[in-house]
């Protein structure tokens, strides 16, 4: 690795991360991107030519030395982006979900956890927009708690479930779609749970959010943090580095760059746990082990056994905390922001998950 180029290697982990060794599924792609290659400017802070950090799934991943953003320089757009979130993303495992709807109990449990955190802010139930709401389990739980709920979701599969099965007001749209135009300052709370890292234009998201949060309102964001212990231990093998679906990974510094201090104020920033099903956890491990067929087959066999589904069938069984079992600061964090008084708006963001 080029000694002069910034890398993601933590100072205390004695491993090397040659860019050409990791995560390549497209034959011949690796050699097209020398370690010092750079493409354009940083999508968040506009620093010129952030260097290549590693290659994952055949996609060159860059790390900005200024704002610490880790990103894929070639985000999919339009129909290509929509195609990534077809029914297969929610049912076929891989970097997605093995069966999102079958894990309803786990998703609802996570949703209630979010609502408990939100209740500790001074946010009383009002109007909430969940950006990238998937099948709407969070919105359904929020509705039960007294919120007036709405959402937007790019995936037709997920949006139809939210609308038809749960009767929710969910627009089929990406947040930045021109036809998705909510009234300015119409929400007391906007939530983005593990969504920001999937959207091709994070600065466009920040601009649109600033116009929608009502004065005194909140913005809650959960995303993954490449500075977390889990990410540092695994390096490029960290499952969250998953282009072309996960395009960006934000640290606290990145989010501070992205959310203009002239418009937003950080209230708090702390680790957060996330519940996932046993099947989902095993599915992610199987995906990461795909280059080791015997191990992948073993994981698949466990998934398909009673053990892989016990948390779906036995009500008293708990799901996994991902990746909380590995330590306190290993995946992400929760952070709260309020808007600058001049703007009289307020937001909360939640980054990292552990």
Interface residues with Zn ion (CB under 5 A)? 42, 44-45, 47, 64, 66-67, 69
DSSP state, residue 237: G
| Closest to Zn ion by CB, 66 or 186 | 66
Task: Give 301's contacts (C-beta < 8 A, 6+ positions apart).
Answer: none
DSSP H helices, 41-99, are: 78-84, 87-91
For the CB of residue 93, give the shortest distance to Zn ion in the complex, in Å: 33
For the CB of residue 338, give the shortest distance to Zn ion in the complex, in Å: 24
Task: Give the whole-angstrom CA distance, residue 100 versus residue 252.
Answer: 29
| Closest to Zn ion by CB, 69 or 249 | 69
DSSP state, residue 162: I
| Closest to Zn ion by CB, 8 or 133 | 8
Contact 261, 339 (CB under 8 A): no
* Bond preceding residue 323 cis, omega within 30 of 0: yes
Contact 320, 281 (CB under 8 A): yes
H or E element: which one contains 267? strand 264-270
For the CB of residue 250, give the shortest distance to Zn ion in the complex, in Å: 10
Task: Give 127's contacts (C-beta < 8 A, 6+ positions apart).
Answer: 147, 148, 149, 150, 186, 187, 188, 189, 214
CA Rg value for the chain: 20
Helices 306-313 and 104-120: crossing angle in degrees, nearest 10, is: 50
| Closest to Zn ion by CB, 67 or 278 | 67
For the CB of residue 41, give the shortest distance to Zn ion in the complex, in Å: 8
For the CB of residue 164, give the shortest distance to Zn ion in the complex, in Å: 41
Task: Give the whole-angstrom CA distance, residue 270 versus residue 353.
Answer: 9
- The 3-state DSSP class for residue 260 equals coil
| Closest to Zn ion by CB, 66 or 265 | 66
Query: To which residue do tokens 């099948």 refer?
Result: 135
Contact 205, 199 (CB under 8 A): yes
For the CB of residue 211, give the shortest distance to Zn ion in the complex, in Å: 23
Contact 52, 37 (CB under 8 A): yes
| Closest to Zn ion by CB, 110 or 223 | 223
| Closest to Zn ion by CB, 65 or 327 | 65
For the CB of residue 45, give the shortest distance to Zn ion in the complex, in Å: 3
For the CB of residue 150, give the shortest distance to Zn ion in the complex, in Å: 32
| Closest to Zn ion by CB, 19 or 44 | 44
| Closest to Zn ion by CB, 44 or 335 | 44
- The 3-state DSSP class for residue 151 equals strand
């Amino acid at each position: 690795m080029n000694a002069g180029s910034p890398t993601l290697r933590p100072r205390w982990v004695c491993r090397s991360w040659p860019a050409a060794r990791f995560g390549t599924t497209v034959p011949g792609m690796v050699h097209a991107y020398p370690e010092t290659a750079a493409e354009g400017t940083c999508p968040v802070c506009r620093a010129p030519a952030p260097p290549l950090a590693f290659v994952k799934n055949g996609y060159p991943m860059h790390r900005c030395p200024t704002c610490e953003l880790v990103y894929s320089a070639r985000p999919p757009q339009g129909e290509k982006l929509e195609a990534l979130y077809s029914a297969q993303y929610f049912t076929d495992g891989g970097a997605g979900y093995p069966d999102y709807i079958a894990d309803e109990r786990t998703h609802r449990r996570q949703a209630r956890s979010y609502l408990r955190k939100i209740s500790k802010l001074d946010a009383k139930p009002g109007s909430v927009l969940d950006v990238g709401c998937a099948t709407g389990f969070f919105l359904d739980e929020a509705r039960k708690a007294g919120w007036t709920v709405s959402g937007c979701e790019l995936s037709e599969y997920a949006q139809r479930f939210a609308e038809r099965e749960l009767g929710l007001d969910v627009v089929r749209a990406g947040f930045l779609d021109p036809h998705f135009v909510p009234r300015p300052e119409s929400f007391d709370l906007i939530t983005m749970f593990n969504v920001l890292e999937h959207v091709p234009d994070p600065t466009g998201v920040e601009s649109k959010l600033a116009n929608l949060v009502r004065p005194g309102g909140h913005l809650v964001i959960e995303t993954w943090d490449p500075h977390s212990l889990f990410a540092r231990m695994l390096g490029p093998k960290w499952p969250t580095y998953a282009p072309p679906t996960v395009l960006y990974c934000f640290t606290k510094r990145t989010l501070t760059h992205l959310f203009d201090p002239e418009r937003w104020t950080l209230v708090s920033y702390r680790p957060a746990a996330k519940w996932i099903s046993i099947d989902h956890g095993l599915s992610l491990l199987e995906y990461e082990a795909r280059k080791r067929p015997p191990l992948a087959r073993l994981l698949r066999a466990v998934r398909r056994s009673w053990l892989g589904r016990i948390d779906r069938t036995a009500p008293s069984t708990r799901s996994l905390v991902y990746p909380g079992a590995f330590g306190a600061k290993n995946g992400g964090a929760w952070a709260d922001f309020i808007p600058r008084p001049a703007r009289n708006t307020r937001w909360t963001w939640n980054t990292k998950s552990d």
